[in-house]
Structure formats: structure tokens, C-alpha cells
Amino acid sequence: DTGVSQDPRHKITKRGQNVTFRCDPISEHNRLYWYRQTLGQGPEFLTYFQNEAQLEKSRLLSDRFSAERPKGSFSTLEIQRTEQGDSAMYLCASSYITRGVDYGYTFGSGTRLTVV
Amino acid sequence: AQKITQTQPGMFVQEKEAVTLDCTYDTSDQSYGLFWYKQPSSGEMIFLIYQGSYDEQNATEGRYSLNFQKARKSANLVISASQLGDSAMYFCAMREFRGNTPLVFGKGTRLSVIA
């Protein structure tokens, strides 16, 4: 296992279309995080899972966004009815937490979304 | 709520010189961790260095060191002997451990190393 994989690396879509991104975490990691990064800004937290449970969602995650992590393995982030403001880099990270100790995040290379 | 402030949008440094990137933070938690990440133009976030709030010594990792001043709530990154490959965005981030919160990032500093 070489790290966190994200697919696709780039996605161009027309406004109003739906898009889905996939993240494959490091296999032994039980936590998975989604972040969004717009140009010139730091990553902003969207949501995270511990195993298959979605434990927290940011206010940034509007009802057009949905994330899943079936069986606690890979995760998908879907954006419905995309808007130009959704154009950003979507970063996935995973970590291993046990007894309340988190052993640090590993990030994927991100999916860059452009809505035209 | 936790907050990270990076006041330097961009910095220039001569190759082989040292540079300090500033980071201040705000938290009401006593137990927290501070992180620095590097993001090259390719986009991936590369972990550089970690400092725990209870660590008494400043963290060091190779050419990276963290100047941790807890009373001032600052966690500046020092890069020694800068290399051309250090040119990238640098992000300071923090987690509060009691609330088990996700990483919160600052806006970043773009470092350009000049030959």
C-alpha cells in the first residue's frame, strides 16, 4: 500500500452536472477525511468518517454534497447540480486512531474540479 | 473555536539561507498538536513536522525546526539551508485533542527560493 489514492486527478464538468470522486485510504487507517481547497486558501474541512460512520460534517457541506464510506474502506464524495463555486481541489486524507490517539494524517494528491 | 493565522502571503529567500515562516494559533484547549505541511505545485500535502502542546522541547526534523512559544501561541517553522526544491506553499495546521477535532489549516505562505 503506497498511500492515499484519489481518482480522478482532474475533472471538468458543466454546471448542473453531478460528479463523484473516489478516495482509497491507507488500508489499515480507520479514519478518512475530506477537505476542499480553493485557490490561494488552505484546505477547509468538509467531513470525516471513522470506519463506516460519518462522524462530523462541516457547514460547508451543503445538501448538494454527500459522502459515503461503505464497509469502512474507500470513500466517495458526490456533488449534485454543480455550481461554478464548487471549482476547487478536493483532498482526501486518512489516519489511524486508537485509544484516542491519532497517528497523523496522510493526504492524497487531490482531485481538481473545474465547473464550466 | 480553533484558528490558525499565517500573516505572510509570500516570502523570498536566497538559496542556502535560513527562513522563518510565521504561524500563530488560537485555542481554548490545553491539549493540542501543531503541524506544518508543504504543498508543491503538484498539489499533494507533505507532512513536515509536529509539535505537541505538552512537548517541552522544540521539534526538529532534518532542516526543519519548529520555534514553539506556547505563551505567545506561536509555532513558527524554520527552514535552514534553503534549497530550490523548498519552493512551495507551506501550511500551518492544528488539532485540538480533547475535542478530537479535525485538522484546521491556515491560509498558507508561498515560499520562493532564489538561486
A37-91 confidence digits (pLDDT tens): 999 899 999 999 999 998 888 888 889 999 999 888 999 999 999 999 999 999 9
Position A96 confidence tier, pLDDT thresholds 50, 70, 90: confident
Return the SS3 of B101. Answer: coil
Q: Closest residue of A to B106, CA-based? A: A42
Residues of A with Cβ-Cβ distance to B37 under 8 angstroms: 107
B30 vs A23, more confident: A23
In which residue ranges of chain B is pLDDT below 50?
A: none
Question: Distance, in angstroms, between B11 CA and closest chain A CA?
Answer: 14
The reply to whether A10 touches chain B by the CB within 8 Å rule is: no
Position A100 confidence tier, pLDDT thresholds 50, 70, 90: low
Question: Distance, in angstroms, between B26 CA and closest chain A CA?
Answer: 16
Q: What's residue B51's pLDDT?
A: 94
Q: What's residue A77's pLDDT?
A: 97
Give me chain B's average pLDDT, please. Answer: 94
Percent of chain A, pLDDT > 90?
70
Q: What's residue B62's pLDDT?
A: 96
Nearest to B91 by CA among B15, B28, B8, B16: B8
Contact flag B47-A44 (C-beta cutoff 8 Å):
no
- Cβ(B83)–Cβ(B62) under 8 Å? no
